[in-house]
Amino acid sequence: MPDTRQRGRFITLEGIDGAGKSTHLPWLKKTLERDGRCVWITREPGGTPLGERLRTMLLHEPMTPVTEALLMFAARREHCEREIWPRLDEGTWIVCDRFTDATFAYQGGGHGVPLETIAALERAALGDFGPDLTLVFDVPVEVGRERLADGRTLDKFEREQGEFFARVREAYLRRARADSRRMRVIDSTLSPAAVRSELAAIVEALVKEAAL
């Protein structure tokens, strides 16, 4: 019998640390599940046993920026091949907390790895695979810093200075301007309810498009 299942969709969440993307994840999952859709939530770096071990190294051990980019893509390939691609083929919708745009923003914008180097790694690791939709939660750097100052221990990236996050934010916004169909910038200084109504409209459009 021919397989009539439709491929799932791949949605990624991005933004500087403290932008509030995690706040909206449970709501996004519930919203997508409403019509009986199977939804899987994951994160990067991470998402597989090896990826989670790489995450611990990446978030806590000093290393050169290019090494960081290489390990991000090693974890990402593992994540895609073992988990993401098979699930999309089965029709599952996936929401991933950060993906390749984070490498362009953090290792590229933040740490100065040439964007051509990252693009070459992307091509080698993933071919032309990428998200169907990317939600960029945007806040000014000071707002992100305030939201991070909640008393917990900060990781290596979260301890960076304000200028680092200003470069990361700018890199996200530049990428979003260049690819505005896929990347949607959300003003995350708004109330959670206002952010959700913006998200609802964007997600509804993707769901409709997928049903065509």
Binding of ligand TYD by 22 (CB under 6 A): yes
| Shortest distance in whole angstroms from residue 47 CB to ligand TYD | 10
**Which residue type does 23 have?**
T
Site for ligand TYD in 47-76 (CB under 6 A): 59, 72
Binding of ligand TYD by 169 (CB under 6 A): no
Contact 165, 145 (CB under 8 A): yes
**Measured between alpha carbons, how far is residue 34 from residues 39, 85, 129, 203 in Å?**
10, 23, 27, 12
Question: What gap in Å lies between CA 153 and CA 41, rounded to an integer?
Answer: 24
| Nearest to ligand TYD of 5, 159 (CB atom) | 159
Q: 178: part of which helix (H) or strand (E)?
A: helix 162-178
Site for ligand TYD in 115-144 (CB under 6 A): none
Binding of ligand TYD by 45 (CB under 6 A): yes
Binding site for ligand TYD (CB under 6 A): 17, 22, 44-45, 59, 72, 97-98, 102-103, 106-107, 157-158
